[in-house]
Amino acid sequence: MTAFLTIIIVLFVAVAIWQMVKIFDLAQVGDDANTGVATDKDNTMNGYLMIGFLIFIYAITIASFWYLGDLPLMSNSASAHGPQVDNLMIISMALIFVVQTITQFLLHYFAFKYKGEKGKKALFFADNNTLEAIWTIIPVIVLSGLIIYGLFTWSNIMNVDESEDPLVIELYAQQFNWKARYAGEDNTLGLANVRLIDIDRANILGLDESDPNAQDDKITTELHLPVGQPVLFKMRSQDVLHSAYMPHFRAQMNCVPGMITQFGFTPTVTTAEMRQNPDIVDKVANINKIRIENSETILASGQDLRYEFDYLLLCNKICGKSHYNMQMKIIVETQEEYDAWIKEQATFKNTIN
Amino acid sequence: MSAHADTHDHDEHEHHHKETFVTKYIFSQDHKMIAKQYLITGTIMGVIGVLMSLMFRMQIAWPEEPNILFEALLGKWAPGGVMDADIYLALVTIHGTIMVFFVLTAGLSGTFSNLLIPLQIGARDMASGFLNMVSYWLFFLSSVIMVISLFVEAGPAAAGWTIYPPLSALPMAQGGSGMGMTLWLVSMAIFIASSLLGSLNYIVTVINLRTKGMSMTRLPLTIWAFFVTAIIGVVSFPVLLSAALLLIMDRSFGTSFFLSDIFLQGEVLHYQGGSPVLFEHLFWFLGHPEVYIVILPAMGLVSEIMASSSRKPIFGYRAMIASILAIAFLSTIVWGHHMFISGMNPFLGSVFTFTTLLIAIPSAVKAFNWITTIWKGNLQLNPAMLFSIGFVSTFITGGLTGIILGDSALDINVHDTYFVVAHFHLVMGISALYGMFAGIYHWFPKMFGRMLNKNLGYLHFWITAICAYGVFFPMHFIGMAGLPRRYYTNSNFPLFDDTANANVIITIFALVGGAVQLVYLYNFFSSIFFGKKTVQNPWRSTTLEWTAPVKHIHGNWEGDIPHVHRWAYDYSKPGHDVDFVPQNIPLKEGEEELQH
């Protein structure tokens, strides 16, 4: 019944808007001058509105920077390659900002300045090779710079230097959670395939029990990383596509069933250090203020009211119903803390039934 | 090269065959009627698509709160008025599918290619009126199937409009991957057949049926855009069809093209040896050209309207054609930029970064040429012109962020966040929609013989323009905070709590922007019947469609087809008393045709 009433109400609102428009429309019936073609008066009005709209574009730009301008994806990266990415991002953004400001100005200002008047004649100006050469060559030069910078950064990130002896960790995705598998003493992950999964025997990741490398592997539900140590992630998925997204580390790679993908980086800032970072302190304070305002709903949902900063691994490829809550906490800590933690984790050999 | 209006053609036209209601309005083979059919079907699909977006925007703004509208419209998918997570993904999926394919491909290209190709090149009709009719009815059938898929038991397709397997392939993985996905695939297969028939017809018509004097370098830019769009469609749509067929095989006949090593709900599935990455390649081989299939016709319409409304020739006609061709060529070799982090070889990522960023060059040329076109013009700010200026504005704003997303090193971090959503909605969603609106306001008199109310048009444009920026501009910043798209609610991530207010504001802009489309719908439907009668050439344009009588006649022109003597952009040409010289007016003695 409420459903029916709601539909009726929505229909009435639609009809009301419709009728108001109709009144507006009918009010102009006697107006024979309204042939549907713009008059000088229309041109003038819309010309001024163009300037108003230009101001609106600038205003929404400024407002967005003012309220949402902490841009966590451009500052305070927590990985060795992060600052390179951030630099490239800042350069690209600055360029975009300049081009956007100028071209929007020209477009809207011309629309205002050259608004039509009866009797005026436009300039017959069909072509100018010099002008066109200029605005072909300038983008070519600028983009060449960006392409070269981008490609160096990209190959720098994607080429994992095996000689640095990275810590090998598997990220294992399934609907709708993450697991991490540490390679153990030998730093070599044991062979695995989802066909070997045996839930009854607690072989939840499908490790090959006969592989000696698998025996000392450790499976965890939190991701701990020692600071300053290069890490090489090997990604696997059990069911559908997922994407391992670690925004603070400027890292992301899809997890694809049937293949192993990889991504490597070196974390440079521990969780404890990041919590002390003035920008993060501000951000957390702001978030906590918002949370207190909404405390009722947050407490009702069973979450902690107070937010404390943590690095996160998020799923960033649509993977089904609970995609929106597929996350794992990442903790970056000192080598000693990490050693102590990893020692407490049980090896595969000891957990299998 | 151009075909002559031979006498046989003429005779056929003179000889009026009686048309029944069915052959005139339903199974019509007349390109003008088919254009109207495309437009109205596209409009209805557009209303559905926009309503869906408003619903999921309300869910994002006020997550998990009971909403009486959800209860009314979603029924069992919103128990107690709280939207279900499954239906959220379905809404997102179907919104994308409908807007990209049914509104901005069929609704935009289908309408205006059909209306303008014969009229602007000086042809009696399309090369094959029958194929044209079949093309429309296949589109209609696919629309009906897509709408039916919304009502199946387990829910409509919900794997995102990109329908990546295995999620889309396994009914166990998601409710929407059952019957809903089957219908989605069937609907799309029929849609592709429709699109291919249409495209072939457009290509053949443009090549063969141009009137005497209409050389390729005298064609209006609209025709160039439709022509090149049709070629891209013919090259890339079959690849999506093959992807859809292989996916149907995987789903229903146990093959393993895209699937391998899957453990789901306690059992190992038999699939072995396939790869989801293969599907991504096949999908984006169409999927990327598709955005140009959407935007090129809009560019063509806008170029034409800008010249006509500025009373100035389009600036750099040849450069405009060259950039259309360059964009079309590049569009087929950039698909990998959707897959930088798909697990494909990083070297390929480098190649696709290079080709992708190259597209910025022809795009920049076009933008500068449009701006120069209005420079020192005598701008007639009709609603169509406002939408054209709006098009250039959103195309620039949305296009510029492409140099971030096209750069593989930067894409790592903004991939699949709201930054991407903001980018593609501005550059191909809103821009193409503006192109479509511009086209409708401009050619409505040609289609229906009546004018749209310009004051309602102004109201429609200005509120839409403000809302479009209000929705998508702050969205870049939410994306830059790392918020992933397609999340049913963000409340499980306190990290993103500071974006919640912005999401509310975005939704309010979206609701207002959605409501103001009612003004447009009113204007559109009431003007069809009650609008002011139009004169033959209300915008004082140079192209051939305005030399045809207002009343639609089979064969377009009484008597002979006009011959063409000049290019399409003789506006404000020195030496003429009026500020436009139609293409069918012979050159004056001593007058030189511009060697543009």
- State the nearest Cα–Cα gap between A339 and chain B, in angstroms: 28
> Taking residues B80-91, what's their average pLDDT?
92
**Residue A147 neighbours by CB under 8 Å, 6+ apart:** B353, B354, B357, B407
Cα separation of A49 and B302, whole Å?
20
Residues A215 and A341 in one domain: yes
Do residues A142 and A203 both lie within one domain? no
pLDDT at B7: 41
Considering chain B, what percentage of its residues have pLDDT values greater than 70?
97
pLDDT at B9 over 70: no
Residue B517 lies in a domain: yes
Chain A closest-CA separation from residue B21 CA (Å)? 30
Task: Give the torsion sign (CA, A249, A251, A252, A253).
Answer: negative
Distances (CA, A) of B433 to B228, B391, B426, B465, B476: 19, 8, 10, 11, 20
Query: Would residue A2 count as lying in a domain?
Result: no
Question: ω before A56 within 30° of 0 (cis)?
Answer: no
At residue B18 the predicted structure's pLDDT band, cuts being 50, 70 and 90, is low
Report which secondary-structure segment, H or E, holds B91. Answer: helix B85-97
Q: Is the dihedral of CA B570, B576, B580, B585 positive or negative?
A: negative
* Of the candidates B559, B585, B558, B552, the residue with the CA atom closest to the CA atom of residue B570: B585
Q: Which residue of B has its CA nearest to A246?
A: B413
Asked if residue A83 belongs to a domain, the reply is yes
What proportion of chain B, given as a percentage, has pLDDT over 90?
86
Same domain? For A225 and A91 the reply is no
Contact A323 B416 (CB under 8 A): no
Minimal C-alpha gap between A299 and chain B (Å): 12
Number of helices and strands in chain B (H, E): 20, 2
Q: Is B469 near chain A, with CB under 8 Å?
A: yes
Taking Cα atoms as reference points, which of A138, A11, A134, A302 lies closest to residue B73?
A11
Which of these, B466, B67, B22, B451, lies nearest to A10 by C-alpha position? B67
pLDDT of B395 above 50: yes
Task: Over range B282-308, report the average pLDDT.
Answer: 95
Give me the mean pLDDT over the B444-470 stretch: 95
Q: Is residue B581 part of a domain?
A: no
What is the Cα–Cα distance from A350 to B163, expressed in whole angstroms? 41
C-alpha A251/C-alpha A265 separation (Å) is: 8
A283 touches chain B (CB under 8 A): yes
Confidence of residue B19 (pLDDT cuts 50, 70, 90): confident
Enumerate the residues of chain A whose CB falls inside 8 A of the CB of residue B379: 43, 47, 111, 114-116
Question: Considering the domain boundaries, does residue B216 fall inside one?
Answer: yes
Residue B359, domain member (yes or no) = yes
Q: Can you list the alpha helix ranges (DSSP code H) found in B449-584? A: 454-480, 500-530
Of B230, B56, B24, B216, which Cα lies nearest the Cα of B127? Answer: B230
- B398 in contact with A, Cβ within 8 Å: no
User: What letter does residue B337 receive in the DSSP assignment?
Assistant: G
The C-alpha angle A84, A90, A93, rounded to 5 degrees, equals 140
Vertex B446, ends B444 and B450: CA angle to 5°? 60
The closest CB to that of A194, out of B263, B368, B445, belongs to B263
Residue B10 has pLDDT above 60, yes or no: no
Distance between CA B231 and CA B237 in Å, rounded?
Answer: 10
d(CA B563, CA A269): 74
pLDDT, tens digit (0-9, with 9 covering 90-100), for B308-319: 999 999 999 999
Q: Which is nearest to B273 in space by CA: B299, B292, B254?
A: B254
Q: How far is Cα B415 from Cα B418, in angstroms, rounded to an integer?
A: 9
Classify residue A31: in a domain, yes or no.
no
Judge whether B279 lies within some domain.
Answer: yes
Same domain assignment for residues A155 and A196: no
- Phi, psi (degrees; rounded to nearest 5) at A244: -85, 105
Note whether A56 and A99 are same-domain residues: yes
Of B408, B491, B538, which has the smallest distance from its Cβ to A154's Cβ? B408
**CATH number, position A322:** 2.60.40.420
**Residues 6 or more apart from A26 whose CB is under 8 A from it?**
none
Contact B173 A240 (CB under 8 A): yes
- For residue A248, tell me if it sits in a domain: yes
Number of folded domains in chain A?
2
Shortest CB distance from A257 goes to which of B166, B451, B486? B166
Nearest to A252 by CA among A338, A178, A313, A331: A313
Q: Which of B498, B501, B532 sits opposite A35 (nearest CB)?
A: B532
Q: Looking at the structure, do residues A91 and A198 belong to the same domain, yes or no?
A: no
Task: Give B86 to chain A, closest Cα distance, Å.
Answer: 5
B561-583 pLDDT per residue, tens: 999 999 999 999 988 888 899 99
Structural domain that includes position B298? 31-255+275-547
A285 contacts on B by Cβ (under 8 Å): none
Record: contact B262-A238, CB cut-off 8 A: yes
Among residues B435, B357, B362, B359, the alpha carbon closest in space to that of B393 is found at B435
Q: Is B574 part of any domain?
A: no
User: Helix B31-61 crosses helix B129-148 at what angle (to 10 degrees)?
Assistant: 20
Contact map slice: A 126-145 vs B, CB within 8 A: 126-128, 131-132, 135-136, 139-140, 143
How close B591 comes to chain A (CA, Å)?
15
State how far residue A21 is from chain B, nearest Cα, in angstroms: 6
Contact B496, B490 (CB under 8 A): yes
Q: Are β-strands A177-182 and A311-315 bridged in parallel, bridged antiparallel, or unpaired? A: unpaired
For strands A231-237 and A167-174, give the pairing.
parallel
Cβ–Cβ < 8 Å for B210, B224? no
Q: Which of A 179-218 lie inside 8 A of B, CB atoms?
A: 193-195, 197, 199, 206
Residue B16 has pLDDT above 70, yes or no: no
Alpha-carbon distance of B69 to B81, in angstroms, equals 7
Residue A25 is predicted with a pLDDT of 74
| Residues in a beta bridge with A234 | A170, A262
B69: which chain A residues are within 8 Å (Cβ-Cβ)?
6, 10
- Does one domain contain both A339 and A190? yes
Q: Across chain A, how many H-helices and E-strands are there?
A: 9, 10
Closest CA to B123 of B20, B219, B197: B219
Answer yes or no: do A229 and A335 share one domain: yes
Closest CA of chain B from A190, distance in Å: 17
Chain B hits for A95, CB-CB cut-off 8 Å, are 403
Q: Is the peptide bond before B238 cis (omega within 30 degrees of 0)?
A: no
| CA distance linking residue A261 with residue A270, whole number of Å | 26
Flag whether A278 is in a domain: yes
Q: Rounded to an integer, what distance in angstroms lies between the CA atom of residue A236 and that of residue A258?
A: 8
Residue B527 located in a structural domain: yes
> Residue B230 sits in a domain of what CATH number?
1.20.210.10
Q: Are residues A60 and A102 in the same domain?
A: yes
| Residues of A whose CB is below 8 A from B277 | 256, 259
Q: What's the confidence (pLDDT) of residue B596?
A: 54
- Does A146 lie at the interface with B, CB-CB under 8 angstroms? yes
pLDDT at residue B383, as a whole number: 96
Residue from A17, A137, A256 whose CB has the most chain B CBs within 10 Å, to mutate? A256
H-state helical runs in B359-494: 360-374, 383-400, 402-405, 408-414, 418-424, 431-448, 454-480
Counting every residue, how long is chain B? Answer: 596
The structure tokens listed for A95 are: 């360029």
DSSP code of residue A232: E
Give the pLDDT confidence of B243-258 residue by residue, as tens digits: 999 999 999 999 999 9
Structural domain boundaries enclosing A278: 162-346
Note the Cα B573 to chain centre separation in Å. Answer: 34
- 3-state SS, one letter per residue, for B45-75: HHHHHHHHHHHHHHHHHCCCCCCHHHHHHHH
A54 in a domain, yes or no?
Answer: yes
Cβ pair A93:B404 closer than 8 A: yes
Residues of B in contact with A49 (CB under 8 A): 462
pLDDT for A164 equals 82
- Whether B343 and A256 lie within 8 Å, measured CB to CB: yes
A174 lies in the same domain as A319: yes
B115-169, pLDDT tens digit by residue?
A: 999 999 999 999 999 999 999 999 999 999 999 999 998 999 999 999 999 999 9
Confidence class for position B584, pLDDT limits 50, 70, 90: very high
Residues A56 and A82 in one domain: yes
Mode of pairing for the β-strands spanning A311-315 and A218-220: unpaired
Maximum Cα–Cα distance for chain A, whole Å? 92
Instruction: Verify whether the Cβ–Cβ distance B454 to A126 is below 8 Å.
Output: no
Task: Count Cβ atoms below 10 Å from residue A194 Cβ, excluding itself.
Answer: 22
- What was the pLDDT predicted at B371? 96
**Which residue, A159, A178, A213, sits at the end of a domain?**
A159
Comparing CA positions, the residue from A309, A323, A312 lying closest to residue A177 is: A323
pLDDT at B475: 95
Question: Which residue from A minimizes the CA distance to B486?
Answer: A318
Asked whether residue B8 is assigned to any structural domain, the reply reads no
* pLDDT tens string B46-69: 999 999 999 999 999 998 788 888
* Cβ–Cβ < 8 Å for B475, B421: yes
Number of domains in chain B: 1
Q: What is the DSSP letter of B101?
A: I
Pairing of strands A167-174, A177-182: antiparallel
Over chain B, what is the mean pLDDT?
A: 92
Q: Phi and psi dihedrals of B550, rounded to 5?
A: -60, -45
For residues A175 and A283, state if they share a domain. yes
pTM: predicted TM-score of the whole model, two decimal places: 0.93
Placement of tokens 């980018």 in the chain = B423
- What is the C-alpha separation between B449 and B477, in angstroms, rounded? 45
CB of B407 within 8 A of CB of A150?
Answer: yes
Q: Do B71 and A301 lie within an 8 Å CB cutoff?
A: no
Q: Is any Cβ of chain B less than 8 angstroms from the Cβ of A286?
A: yes
What is the pLDDT tens value at each position of chain A, 353 positions in all?
Answer: 566 777 787 788 888 887 877 777 777 665 655 678 888 999 999 999 999 999 999 999 999 999 888 777 788 899 999 999 999 999 999 999 999 999 999 999 999 999 998 888 889 988 888 999 998 999 999 999 999 999 999 999 998 877 888 999 999 999 999 999 999 889 999 999 999 999 888 899 999 999 999 999 999 999 999 999 999 999 999 999 999 999 999 999 999 999 999 999 999 999 999 999 999 999 999 999 999 998 888 888 888 889 999 999 999 999 999 999 999 999 999 999 999 999 999 999 988 87
